[in-house]
Amino acid sequence: MNLSGKVAIVTGVSSGIGRATAEALLTRGAAVAGWGRHAPEGLDHDRFQFFECDVRDEHAVAEAFTNTQRELGLEIHVLVNNAGLGVFGPIDGFKSEDWHAMFDTNVNGLFYCTRAVLPQMKKQHAGHIINVASLAATAGTANLAGYCATKYAVRGFSDALFKELRPDGIKVTCVMPGSVETNFNGAQPGQQPDPHKMQPEDIAAAIVHALEAPDATMVSEIQMRPANVK
């Protein structure tokens, strides 16, 4: 897909992978609708518009989609389901509200956003959905059971979705990064880039790579790991 002039929705746009992806798409000439609970500070671009949206609320998602089409036009070419939440800890001490918050964001929110864009993408017989999962979708890890469960769900959803939407001309890619330097789980990125972690821009570049693949090619999954090991 040539991204110039295309319209992309990016969820979880306020920071980290979401913000980096929005910036990468803008560089490629796309118009970007950024959805999130907070606007990204300092992201001022004539092709970027922020729409306040908590993806856990299906009514908020529907409203954000309506507002996006009103402001940027009916055609939606890209959806990047990036909004995510991770709470770690042993299961026998895990709070139910944290469990539900992860599923509501990582799984239910992704479903609401995907469902919102599909009628228009089917009408166009074109579109690309990027679901940001994690390497936690490939192997379980102690004290990450709840998070792994959500990301396994995202990977399974993505795999089924690409098979469902293939006849409609819609591509689906599941991106599974390993360690990325963001403020995920409350950790603040360091002043100096951690050489043992990938940067949000690295993940954004992989997303753009998948989007710009030739029309006859679908990159269904991408696994990413830091090149430098501790």
By annotation, the residues acting in catalysis are: 147
Two tokens at 188?
A: 């603040």
Q: What is the dihedral angle through the alpha carbons of 221, 134, 27, 30, rounded to the nearest 10 degrees?
A: 60
Two tokens at 167?
A: 């006849």
Q: Please say whether the beta carbons of 76 and 120 come within 8 A.
A: yes
Identify the CA nearest to 36 among candidates 103, 105, 100.
105
List Cβ neighbours of 36 (8 Å cut-off, separation of 6 or more): 11, 12, 13, 14, 18, 50, 52, 53, 83
Two tokens at 98?
A: 């944290």
What distance in Å separates the CA atoms of residue 29 and residue 125, rounded to the nearest whole number? 22
Count of residues for the chain?
230
